[in-house]
Structure 1
């Protein structure tokens, strides 16, 4: 796997996590990527002003499409 870059440190995540909507219990699929990693992918893409499809998979944030869908949700 490799070391994941933590854009959102533990102290900030403790503040953000309770504000996120819960994953739907009746969702047909389980969450493929954690909320924390998706949030980091979203912040990375927005900060670097990049297209979602260009989000590097090597950073372990999930695909750009996954991050975009989570942001939309």
Structure 2
């Protein structure tokens, strides 16, 4: 698991994750967020199905990893992580903005519409 989520990556991601309080009624202990992230990374890197995640190696089931992926997406964790990583790269002067590409949508002008200068 630690090979998929090294300590330096975890140090960036952990503060971005939403707080999940303990359940008042008890129940099964919550799987660690780091294990769930390792499962997400493994599925994305290999293309394996969620149900085939090796629970014994990762530390949680594929369903748990899948559920956390959706929860974190709804909490905008991935957008925040992207922003945090860009900031770190910018601070390290490791970004080359001259090679950046911008994407835009183009729509044809309506027929008979005046031309813009």
TM-score band (shorter)? 0.7 to 0.9
Partner residue in 2 for 1:6: 3
Q: What pairs with 1:1-73 in structure 2 (closer than 5 Å)?
A: 4-24=1-21, 32-73=30-71
Instruction: Give the whole-Å Cα distance in 2 for the aligned partners of 1:27 and 1:71.
Output: 24
Query: Which structure is larger by alpha-carbon Rg, 1 or 2?
Result: 2
What's the TM-score, normalizing by structure 1? 0.78
Aligned residues: 70
- Listed as ranges, the gaps of 5+ residues in structure 2 are 72-117
- Listed as ranges, the gaps of 5+ residues in structure 1 are none
Moved over 4 A (4+): 24-31
CA RMSD, Structure 1 to Structure 2 (Å): 2.0
Judge conservation of contact 2:38–2:58 (CA < 8 Å) in 1: no
